[in-house]
Structure 1
Amino acid sequence: MGLFDLFKKTDKVGKDSTVESKELLNEVEESKNTVEVNTKLSFHPDWDVPQEQKYIFNFLSNELEPLKPNQLSLAAIAIDVNQANGSWDVKAFLRSSLPKAIELGEVGLFLLDKDGKVIASKTFDLKELGSIPAESARPWVFTFEKNTIQASELPEEGWKIAFNLVSLRGHQLDLDETWKNKLSEEQINQLEKIIKDLPSLGKTEVNFTGFQIKLLEDKGLAVSILLRNGNEKAINLEQLPLEILDANKKQIAKGYFKLDPVLTVQANSTKPWTFVFPKEMVDAEGADFSSWTPRVAQ
């Protein structure tokens, strides 16, 4: 089956997923116009589109709703299953209401079901689409391989293909309200710098990094830890068995923390949190605090 055979007369334009251009592009000339934009059909310059397929593309593009100025959008069309390998070929329009041509780079895309649940996720190099002209809609096929799909069957009507803005915004500080109220602006800036200077996380990695430790007067131990989440989804911590090792890898504290309310670390974010070990959980005699490591206890 050829590329153009994927687009059929029976296809219909479905849900639009729209973002402001500044969410995806660092520097771009935006329009000061406030009038809605009807995007024009645009083909990739390397495409030699048969006349019959041009008719289909024109029919589909005429169904598109206008965009507000300075927006980028993905308009869903349909999904075809590749019976040979189980991948999903997702047909969509990538649309721009910007007043000038743009080029995109690597961008994460989601497939969302009608309830907004992620059913597939993959990073695409959108340079392959070429230069997207001003105020245009370019048809494309986004292939999600079987290992990027988290659903057992095609979604019902109402699904969307959307930009993964979490992957674009970079790793961020997720500060609980109780911390925001206690910390000065300077302290918050210091935390943000610490997080920025830490090694990058893998896309499914969760990591605990210690940044402050204090032996209390009652012989208890207070440790402040950076809870780092590299996932594209938030994680919820309901309970945490935790141990602390000193510079010599000696265990100086071990305890089980039941977190109520549940402690949530947002997607692609780091949340600082303090855990206090009572004295009966601490053995800090002769401990070397020059460096220390928090670890999930086995």
Structure 2
Amino acid sequence: MFKWKKKEKETKSYDEGAVDASLFTGKEEEVQDTDEVYTELSLHPDWHLPEEEAYVYRFYNSDLPPLKPNQVSVSGFDIQKKDQNILVKAFLRNSLQRGIHFKPTSILLLDKQGQLMARKHFDLTDVGLLPGRSSRPWIFDFHQKDFINGDTNIPVNGWKLAFETHTRKHSLDLEETWEQSLDTEEIDKLEEYVSNINPPKPGEVNFLGLQVTFGNEGNLHVTLLVRNGNEEDITLKSIPLIVEDATGKVIAKGGFKLNDLKVKAHTSKPWTFVFPKNKVNRDEVDLSRWKVYPK
């Protein structure tokens, strides 16, 4: 008896860069009565391209794999190096029956094995309304600072783009001197405080006041959180600060030189700034509320 080889079940190849559309719509969508969605080319209204270039986009779009219902994707098709930057052409795709607006989000550049090469936050609101079941070409520029190891060489064995689908948790970053001077309970309270407040917006660096007190010599001690919402560490060399009381009156201002104060990505670092007496106005100060900000 011959043992006939069973025919393997044919599997469809879908867009591997696709994610659930709720990442951008914020809600679950109605189930569509189809297994796969092919997207039509939709050029941005402000793009006025010669017919030859539009044809190239139509050609690449026709070669895209299908999406599953209720998905969006970023599908790269061309990558070029320009100076120390990498320019990636890609399609933003929408398999919903209705149009959607993309929001600011982080795009990942991965090698063929899925290892992270670069990460950058892009304001995708500029894409505009992407109609239902359509693809829109877009260009993503990655700078050298966006690359994990600074290597901007194009991978010879393949690459792909992806949405960053998880938000990195914002956490406390303590200098060693602070870890040594604070007890465990104080550190725990700081960690709890940082985890419970809203993190800075992606790409934002801001300052949040923690404590303000007058010293015995008339100087002003201001402790604040330096909050880094970037995907990479930042280093502060100097900072000018202004402190206002509850009435909005400026009670202190001055510049501070920092010894290359480093704040890690997605962390908040507490730091105390001491304004000397000659930089402080103590007349009728109301510290029931106060704020500090760079000038």
TM-score, normalised to structure 2, is 0.53
Runs of 4+ in 1 over 4 A off after TM superposition: 169-172, 191-194, 198-203, 229-233
Match of 1:133 among 131, 134, 137: 131
Tell me, yes or no, if the aligned pair for 2:170 and 2:194 is still in contact at 8 Å: no
**Letter in structure 2 aligned against 1:197:** I
C-alpha displacement of 1:171: 5.3
Cα distance change, pair 157–132 in 1 and its aligned pair in 2 (3 A): farther
Partner of 2:20: 20
3-state SS of 1:160 partner: strand
User: What is the CA–CA distance in structure 1 between the aligned matches of 2:229 and 2:122, rounded to whole Å?
Assistant: 19
Cα distance change, pair 202–134 in 1 and its aligned pair in 2 (3 A): closer
What is the CA RMSD across the aligned residues, in angstroms? 3.4
Tell me, yes or no, if the aligned pair for 2:39 and 2:66 is still in contact at 8 Å: yes
3-state SS of 1:81 partner: strand
User: What is the CA–CA distance in structure 1 between the aligned matches of 2:58 and 2:102, rounded to whole Å?
Assistant: 24
C-alpha displacement of 1:59: 0.8
Partner of 1:160: 160
Cα distance change, pair 75–196 in 1 and its aligned pair in 2 (3 A): same
C-alpha displacement of 1:201: 9.8
**Letter in structure 2 aligned against 1:151:** D
Partner of 2:75: 75
Partner of 1:66: 66
Tell me, yes or no, if the aligned pair for 1:120 and 1:151 is still in contact at 8 Å: no
Which runs of structure 2 are paired with 1:6-17 in the superposition (5 Å)? 16-17=16-17
User: What is the CA–CA distance in structure 2 between the aligned matches of 1:140 and 1:81, rounded to whole Å?
Assistant: 16
Partner of 1:294: none
Partner of 1:106: 104
Q: For structure 1, which runs of at least 5 residues remain unmatched after alignment?
A: 1-14, 173-190, 206-228, 234-266, 270-298
Cα distance change, pair 132–157 in 1 and its aligned pair in 2 (3 A): farther
Cα distance change, pair 34–202 in 1 and its aligned pair in 2 (3 A): closer
Aligned residues: 180
**Identity across matched positions, percent:** 38
1:44 aligns with 2:49: no
3-state SS of 1:89 partner: strand
TM-score, normalised to structure 1, is 0.52
Tell me, yes or no, if the aligned pair for 2:231 and 2:266 is still in contact at 8 Å: yes
User: What is the CA–CA distance in structure 1 between the aligned matches of 2:89 and 2:201, rounded to whole Å?
Assistant: 32
User: What is the CA–CA distance in structure 2 between the aligned matches of 1:136 and 1:201, rounded to whole Å?
Assistant: 29
Partner of 2:196: 196
User: What is the CA–CA distance in structure 2 between the aligned matches of 1:201 and 1:139, rounded to whole Å?
Assistant: 26
**Letter in structure 2 aligned against 1:94:** L
Tell me, yes or no, if the aligned pair for 2:31 and 2:70 is still in contact at 8 Å: yes
